[in-house]
Amino acid sequence: MMECAQYRRTVLADPHDPDPALSEHRGSCPECTLYTEPMLRFESRLERALRVPVPADMDSGLRRNSAAQTDRGEAGSARVVPLRPRSPLWALGRGPYRRSWLAMAASVLLALVVAGGLWLSVPDRSLAAAVVTHMGGEPQAWRRTELPVPSAELLAVLRDSQLRLAADAGIVSYASSCEFRGHRVPHLVLQTESGPVTVMVLVNEHLSKSMQFDEQGYHGVIVPVAGHGSLAVLARGPTADPTTVEHIAHRVLEAIVWTG
């Protein structure tokens, strides 16, 4: 069975790769399916962005030149092409051809800018989608309770990620070491004044900046942590507004003590 990391490397190189093993893995892995969908959307947008039409005046000029050369070739068996000096550089700046080339260059540049922006956004959005999908697999974690998980159990979950929580972090009502995108990560639920909040410590996921998302009823934020990957915090319900979630995320970061 193909592993997630191998699947994603292959799809990143060619989202349309017809390998049956890719289809088989995608059918059995919801997270990789969510990873693939934005890649395919990106490919489709990139193809549309790069379909730059030839300006009408340039196309007609090329046709006239081709027709003129054909006529000259048919006028006699011998065809003499007179040598002539190239046009000086300053002359290239004149006339409709310059405008046509500038239009084409601007179109290509715009396509590259759009494609680059889409490309940079794909990994982040797929990470957010994978976090939300993971939430659906553990609905029992969202219950409200004042009963914390045993300290030994919490320490065992956090140990592999080389961290612990300060005593003032709040009540941790759920702690599990979960498989996420090919790695084991801590999945915690903290009880806050706004209700239960899920925290995932993603030590193998690196972002350049914080990102907020709102998907399938979850409000979330993923915050980069220098030298330690990133931290995902999610809440749900009417009280889980983005500002509150962002505040909780930074409060959790302050409560993390890195041990390695």
- Statement to judge: residues 130 and 153 lie in one domain: no
98 and 201 in a single domain? The answer is no
- State the total domains in the chain: 2
Domain-located, residue 82: no
Higher pLDDT pick, 257 / 139: 257
Q: What is the dihedral sign for C-alpha 34, 175, 140, 179? A: positive
* 188 and 247 inside one domain: yes
User: Rounded CA gap, 184 and 201, in Å?
Assistant: 10
Taking the whole predicted model, whether its pTM rises above 0.85 is answered as: no
C-alpha angle 227/4/112, rounded to 5°? 70
Q: Are residues 160 and 248 in the same domain?
A: yes
Kindly give the interhelix angle for 95-136 and 30-49, rounded to the nearest 10 degrees. Answer: 170
Name 26's bridge partners. Answer: none
- Supply the pLDDT for residue 119: 42
Q: Output 44 or 100, whichever has higher pLDDT.
A: 44
CA distance 93 to 142: 67
Residues 121 and 182 in one domain: no
Per-residue confidence band for 66, with pLDDT thresholds at 50, 70 and 90: low
Task: Return the CATH number at 246.
Answer: 3.40.1000
pLDDT at residue 187 is higher than 90? yes
Helices in 77-94 by DSSP H: which ranges?
none
Q: Is the domain of 121 the same as that of 25?
A: yes
Collapse the DSSP code of 176 into the 3-class scheme (helix H, G, I; strand E, B; otherwise coil) and give the result: strand
Residues 208 and 242 in one domain: yes
In the prediction, which pLDDT does 157 show? Answer: 92
* 85 three-state secondary structure: coil
Of 183, 257, 246, 184, the C-alpha closest to 220 is 246
| Statement to judge: residues 3 and 132 lie in one domain | yes
SS3 content of the chain, % helix, strand, coil (to 5): 50, 20, 30
Taking residues 119-144, what's their average pLDDT? 71
Residues 240 and 147 in one domain: yes
Q: Is the pLDDT of residue 129 over 70?
A: yes
Q: Two tokens at 236?
A: 């749900």
For residue 229, name the pLDDT band (cuts at 50, 70, 90).
very high
| Residue 45 lies in domain | 1-74+90-136
Question: Looking at residue 213, what is its pLDDT?
Answer: 87
In a domain, 213, yes or no: yes
Same domain assignment for residues 44 and 118: yes
- Mean pLDDT for all residues in the chain: 76
